[in-house]
């Protein structure tokens, strides 16, 4: 019976094609309710406030209070054995924001970055601005490849043990691009310094493949794969510059049983029409957003374009969940279920839950999704 299954068992049952009942799982990366954080389980909080993994406890607490089936997300650091490759960081308060200046000393000169952080962050000076910066970044990435894998595996297993059967555990990844990527000027750098870009790209790919292998050894279940910028890259660009690495990452992750959740919160219509998602066939794909969030004609249209083997996830608007009213939330959930009838679909959101969302709205969302 589906009611006797743990959340973790439900996820793996769904992946195997079993009937586990209605599933509901919004993307939720941290505490988002309009009330102070609290741990709702009987046992002690494994990662209380102040812990570097506190967001994992926040995700578990959200799932317990709201009643959904979480796809939990976590990351652990991989400090290089060479301490000279660690950044020197200086923070300065500037009224309503904090200025963060980072510097890495390399044999080829200093590699620097400056950010200003408030409600959001703004990069004042990116890491990569010159061809010489790419040479410095290659050295840095080579140092980062030499990390204590056993220590990383131990950290990951501690996370996996703390989560238990409360959900499946994943981590973030995406096409390698280049380490310390300057996204605003990436395309100019590719054109202006192709050899430097290619060299950094190659060593960055090696680093990502090594890191995701460590995550799998630590017991992580899924890869939360993001191809950022589907608004400003085309399917042709993806095939030329990102498809090969995407395939390598998927193959390695799946080699010993991991699954892929491919996430996009952008404009996916061209990628759907080009058959990109069907070609790579992630086990789960989110989200199929219509205007004003995305650019798909309709959820039912998008679901029909995708391979039936792909489980879809989504697609309630974040502002609706936050602002309500409850009746409209319920109606939207019922429409999602109607538009995906006959397919394996997990009711979710268009992206990460907005902060200060009422608990009553989350529970109404879950209750509507659970109705048979």
CA gap 41, 39 in Å, rounded: 6
54-66 and 149-163 helices, crossing angle to 10°: 20
Q: Comparing C-alpha atoms, which of 311, 217, 226, 290 is closest to residue 263?
A: 226
What would the two tokens of residue 159 be?
């996370």
CATH 3.40.50.11540 matches 2-78+147-370: no
Q: What is the pLDDT of residues 61-89, one digit of tens each?
A: 999 999 999 999 999 989 999 999 999 99
Is a pLDDT exceeding 60 seen at residue 1? Answer: no
Distance of CA 104 to the CA centre of its chain: 27
What is the reported pTM?
0.94
What count of Cα atoms within 13 Å lies in the side-chain half-sphere of residue 74?
33
Q: What is the pLDDT of residues 346-369, one digit of tens each?
A: 999 999 999 999 999 999 999 999
119: Cβ–Cβ under 8 A, 6 or more apart, which residues? Answer: none
Q: What is the pLDDT of residues 207-221, one digit of tens each?
A: 999 999 999 999 999
Q: Alpha carbon of 168 to those of 77, 197, 260: distances in Å?
A: 20, 36, 12
Please state the domain extents for the chain.
Answer: 2-78+147-370
CA gap 329, 222 in Å, rounded: 29
If one counts every other C-beta atom within 10 angstroms of the C-beta of residue 105, the result is 15
The partner residues of 347 in beta bridges, in order of sequence, read 24, 314
Is a pLDDT exceeding 90 seen at residue 246? Answer: yes
């Amino acid at each position: 019976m589906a009611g006797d299954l743990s959340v973790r068992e439900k996820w793996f049952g769904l992946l195997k094609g079993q009937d586990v009942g209605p599933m509901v799982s919004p993307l939720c990366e941290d505490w988002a309710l309009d009330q102070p954080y609290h741990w709702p389980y009987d046992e002690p909080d494994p990662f209380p406030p102040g812990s570097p993994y506190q967001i994992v406890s926040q995700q578990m607490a959200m799932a317990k209070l709201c009643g959904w089936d979480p796809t939990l997300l976590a990351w652990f650091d991989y400090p290089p054995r060479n301490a000279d490759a660690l950044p020197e960081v200086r923070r300065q308060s500037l009224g309503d924001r904090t200025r963060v200046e980072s510097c890495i000393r390399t044999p080829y000169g200093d590699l620097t970055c400056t950010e200003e952080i408030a409600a959001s962050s703004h990069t004042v000076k990116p890491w990569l601005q010159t061809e010489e910066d790419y040479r410095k970044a290659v050295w840095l990435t080579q140092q980062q490849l030499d990390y204590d894998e056993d220590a990383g595996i131990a950290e990951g297993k501690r996370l996996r043990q703390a989560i238990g059967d409360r959900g499946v555990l994943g981590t973030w990844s995406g096409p390698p691009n280049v380490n310390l990527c300057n996204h605003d000027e990436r395309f100019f750098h590719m054109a202006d310094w192709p050899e430097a870009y290619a060299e950094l790209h190659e060593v960055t790919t090696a680093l990502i493949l090594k890191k995701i292998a460590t995550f799998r050894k630590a017991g992580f279940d899924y890869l939360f794969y993001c191809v950022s910028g589907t608004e400003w890259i085309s399917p042709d660009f993806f095939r030329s510059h990102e498809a090969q690495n995407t395939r390598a990452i998927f193959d390695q992750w799946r080699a010993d049983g991991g699954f892929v959740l491919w996430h996009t919160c952008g404009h996916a219509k061209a990628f759907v029409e080009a058959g990109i998602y069907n070609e790579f066939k992630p086990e789960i794909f989110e989200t199929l957003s219509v205007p004003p969030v995305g650019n798909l004609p309709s959820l039912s249209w998008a679901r029909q374009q995708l391979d039936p083997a792909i489980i879809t996830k989504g697609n309630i608007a974040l502002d609706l969940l936050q602002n309500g009213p409850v009746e409209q939330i319920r109606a939207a959930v019922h429409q999602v279920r109607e538009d995906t009838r006959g397919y394996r679909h997990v009711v979710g959101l268009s992206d990460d839950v907005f902060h200060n969302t009422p608990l009553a709205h989350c529970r109404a969302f879950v209750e509507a999704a659970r109705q048979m």
